[in-house]
Amino acid sequence: MELNQQYLESVKKQFLYYKTLGERSIDQLEPEQLFIAPNEDSNSIAVIVKHLHGNMLSRWTDFLTTDGEKPTRNRDAEFENDPEASRQTKEALLQIWNEGWKCFLDTLNSLKPEDMLTIIYIRNEGHTVVEAINRQLAHYPYHIGQIVYIAKMLKKTEWNSLSIPKNKSGDYNAKKFAQEKSVKNFTDEELKKLKKG
């Protein structure tokens, strides 16, 4: 497989893995918990979702032909706690979550290996397509990690682990080393476990 195609396949799997981590975290919370900010200087999960949504729509709409910071985007508003948050629903939040991810993944899935060195712009700064993808491969998991951490803090009952549970690394490693060596993306098995979850 050509390197650019292999890269695209790999990043698609990684983004789906982090998307699923976020969803499994959100699933474990009561609707009202999604709108709680740990403190005044922190964001609620709802605010993080709003920010991801705004970023994804701005960066990935007309990705190859327009600047990634669209004039219609209001980034500062993404970080404001909505005064009506208590009336918002988990379903409404998941709707914007899915809208943002759909825009992003549809664009990612439309890219071809020959697009990888094309120059795109974000705030007038040129990036190759590879650099733009890598930028978001660091950015989106950063916020997914925040979602997971906040969800774990807010969970009132037992947290269903999304990775190797505490004190189970030895068991996990023993299972892995009992298998034949193989070449595959680490997310292949992890996504199956999360989706069963």
Beta-ladder partners of 126: 121
Task: Look at residue 1 in the predicted model and tell me its pLDDT.
Answer: 61
Task: Look at residue 175 in the predicted model and tell me its pLDDT.
Answer: 80
**Residue 104 pLDDT grade (very low, low, confident, very high; cuts 50, 70, 90):** very high
Enter the DSSP assignment of 88: -
Q: If we measure between CA atoms, which residue out of 104, 136, 126, 130 comes closest to residue 117? A: 130
**Residue 91 pLDDT grade (very low, low, confident, very high; cuts 50, 70, 90):** very high
Task: Look at residue 84 in the predicted model and tell me its pLDDT.
Answer: 61
Residue 160 or 136, more confident:
136
Averaged pLDDT of the chain: 90
Residues 36-43: contacts with CB under 8 Å, at least 24 apart: 36/154, 37/81, 38/150, 38/153, 42/150, 43/79, 43/146
Report percent pLDDT > 70 for the chain. 94
**Residue 156 pLDDT grade (very low, low, confident, very high; cuts 50, 70, 90):** confident
DSSP-derived 3-state class of residue 159 = coil
pLDDT tens column, 105-130? 999 999 999 999 999 999 999 999 99
pLDDT tens column, 51-88? 999 999 999 999 999 999 999 999 999 998 765 655 67
**Residue 197 pLDDT grade (very low, low, confident, very high; cuts 50, 70, 90):** low
Element (DSSP H or E) covering residue 59: helix 45-60
Q: Which domains does the chain have, with CATH numbers?
A: 3-196 (1.20.120.450)
Distance CA 13, CA 17 (A): 6
Residue 161 or 108, more confident:
108
Looking at residues 17-26, what average pLDDT do you find?
A: 97
